Amino acid sequence: MAAPSHTYTLPQPLPLDGGQAIEGAAIAYETYGELAADKSNAILVCHALTGDQYLASPHPVTGKPGWWERMVGPGKPIDTSRYHVICANVIGSCMGSTGPASAAPDGKPWAMRFPVITVRDMVRGLVALLDGLGIERLHAVVGGSMGGMQALSLAANFPERAARVLAIATTARHSAQNIAFHEVGRQAIMADPNWRDGDYYGHDTAPDAGLAVARMAAHITYLSEAGLTEKFGRRLQDRDAKSFGFDADFQVESYLRYQGSGFTRRFDANSYLYITRAMDYLDIAEEHGGKLADAFAGHAMGKGARFCLVSFDTDWLYPTSESRHVVHALNAAGAPVSFVELSAPFGHDSFLLDVPPLDRVVKGFLDG
């Protein structure tokens, strides 16, 4: 099992876009590799919606390998014999950083009293952590999916803090379809009678049924139709004929139920509400007067970071058009940017899976 995470308590209140501030916010994080004496080799990896700080070490609840263990480690594309890699649990989550399950100033869980947060608020927390670690400028900030949103937000709001920005399978704004899928998940959680208006901490039951349905619906968006067809097709699960009932007749049904039930063991339902809401509020252009190029003005003519954006041809959650939208804005801002669309059969989850061309892009960009 993983050793306990490091925890950094912010010395100042964390200001939020909603106008509130969190006193004594804690950020749980893991590190891999040695930090250079001049602190020039630090890479911040930002996690996705249901990820955590256990980037390349076993998860303490599930015992499963780190979520990007194939990418991070000695001799791997993000080489921990060369770089000091930091991965922190975002504010609002449930793996040690302050979130709705944490104790509020009155000693009771925040629950739905926790303030609504944004991706930019998450990034403010990460920058406060970097301040606490004495790291003024990152060698790179890297992330896929919501992690990529954080990487772009850091570049837009703190342009001096990273020399390289690698954003994979991501977007600078959530679309109506993105918001719609998240709303289905939130409603599934809130419709579960065990949700109790978010005040289920201390009870014997949590809204696991609703959270499982939310995870099932979201998981479909992470896969491609071709990938689902190849993996499952219409094959039956442990039977030779249809049951003419409502058990999991099909393999794909069984798979989704397994994904949903497993997820409830390691994730908090209220955190799911808060983080999906933060993602839905994301619109980096809106934060900077309505023009995305203006958000990246701090990177003009090579005075800020170099960018690399990666998309996948089967990702319909954050399709290539979303990455191109960001690339066009970076071009308009005069920021140095490279972009590649990779072919992979796995849909949005391709950034987590075995796609050797991605390994080459990541290594080439970070080491170049």
Strand pairing of 140-144 and 42-46?
Answer: parallel
Q: Number of C-alpha atoms within 13 angstroms, CB side, residue 368? A: 13
Q: Identify the residue whose tokens are 């990779």.
A: 342
Structure tokens at 193: 């009678």
The residue type at 71: M
Residue at 263: amino acid letter = F
82 annotated binding-site participant: no
Please tell me which residue in 145, 311, 323, 350 is annotated as part of the active site.
145
Phi-psi region of 172 (alpha: psi -120 to 50; beta: other; left: phi over 0): alpha
Using alpha carbons, select from 317, 367, 66, 32 the residue that is nearest to residue 175: 317
- List the alpha helices (DSSP H) in the chain: 119-133, 146-157, 176-191, 208-221, 225-231, 251-263, 269-281, 284-287, 292-295, 320-333, 356-367
The residue annotated as part of the active site, out of 153, 224, 348, 350, is 348
Does the annotation mark 47 as catalytic? no
Please report, to the nearest 10 degrees, the dihedral formed by the alpha carbons of residues 223, 250, 262, 71 taken in order.
-30
Q: Give DSSP secondary structure letters for 312-329.
A: ETT--SS-HHHHHHHHHH
340 vs 164: CA distance, rounded Å: 16
Give the CA distances from residue 155 to residues 199, 212, 363, in Å, rounded to whole numbers and listed in that order. Answer: 36, 34, 20
| 197 in a labelled binding site | no
The answer to whether residue 313 is catalytic is no
Q: Which of 208, 249, 280, 315 is catalytic?
A: 315
Query: Rounded to 5 degrees, what are φ and ψ at 65?
Result: -60, 160
Assess whether 315 carries a catalytic annotation.
Answer: yes
Binding positions are 215, 349
Binding positions for substrate are 215, 349
Positions marked catalytic: 145, 315, 348
